[in-house]
Amino acid sequence: MDNGKTEISLGGTDVQLALPQSFALLSDVVSAASRNQGRAFGAALGICWQGSGKPRTSLQGYSYDVMVYGGAVLDELAARGLKYNELQAAGMMAWSLCAAAILTESEVSDTEDFTGGAAASTG
């Protein structure tokens, strides 16, 4: 991972991931994992995917509802023949990229583990 960018392999194709500019969008995607990991990972993959092969579905087309958008991304990519485990692995990488951009290291660990660890100190 380098400055909010990374490259992954998905279905035998190299995919470039890069962070969107919106902190609010990153926050929405990261927090969505507490409700539905799969959809959060799908949304992260959709918002971070750069270049060819990017899912055609758009977040705007789903009224910026991250959960519905994440499901639509997964459906589209599954329809292309991508396997569940590949989608989850790629989505987790994209989600981790988003989380690392807005959370401290301990917050990322707590969120990824869904342990609900102690709140971060503000002092």
Would residue 122 count as lying in a domain?
no
- With beta carbons less than 8 A apart as the criterion, state whether 46 and 57 touch: yes
Residue 31 domain boundaries: 5-107
Asked if residue 42 has pLDDT above 90, the reply is: yes
Q: Does 82 reside within a domain? A: yes
Mean pLDDT score, 86-109: 85
Asked, for residue 112, whether it belongs to a domain, the answer is no
Domain count, the chain: 1
What pTM value is reported for the model?
0.81
pLDDT digits (tens, 9 = 90+) for 52-76: 999 999 999 999 999 999 999 999 9
Instruction: Report yes or no on 12 lying in a domain.
Output: yes
* Residue 121 counted as domain residue: no
**Three-state SS letters, the chain:** CECCEEEEEECCEEEEEECCCCHHHHHHHHHHCCCCHHHHHHHHHHHHEECCCCCCCCCHHHCCCHHHHHHHHHHHHHHCCCCHHHHHHHHHHHHHHHHHHHCCHHHHHHHHHCCCCCCCCCC
